[in-house]
Amino acid sequence: MGRTVVFLVLVAFLAPLNAAEVNLKNIMRELETNLLIIIESLLVDDREQLVLAAKEIAQHPPIPVSQRMLIAEELGDEMAQFAQFDQVVHSLSLELEERGLLNSEPELIRRVQEILSACVSCHSVYKSRIASVLAGH
């Protein structure tokens, strides 16, 4: 029962962001929600929900241009590496979406671990700098 309630609460937050809500902070919150749904889906063996959450991650809205410009100004030459982290998460999420119904659980778990690793790596390198530059705007 407890897991079901948590799962339903998380699903309630999956409503797509409207244009006024699209900003990096809300995009990250939506990604976090989808990652939690993927983990919950693995725990309860709900492959369909796993596939849907992976698709949401892969298709997250882009960072608004105004925020991308501020981030690019802050990161300079590091912007390519920042974008690469997003590309890795995108590619892995697409793989998870495509294989979610077919692959064995250990394979899916490895893919989720790779997604989490890319997210945490990006956060450890860039989160404080990006949060700081966006806080003033």
pLDDT digits (tens, 9 = 90+) for 2-32: 555 444 444 444 445 555 579 999 999 999 9
Q: How many residues does the chain have?
A: 137
pLDDT digits (tens, 9 = 90+) for 39-82: 999 999 999 999 999 999 999 999 999 999 999 999 999 999 99
Contacts of residue 117, defined as CB under 8 A and 6 or more positions apart, other chains included, come to none
Rounded Cα gap, residues 37 and 49, in angstroms: 8
Ordered domains of the chain (ranges, CATH): 2-135 (1.20.120)
Q: Contact 38/96 with Cβ under 8 angstroms?
A: yes
Q: Contact 135/113 with Cβ under 8 angstroms?
A: no
Q: Contact 37/10 with Cβ under 8 angstroms?
A: yes
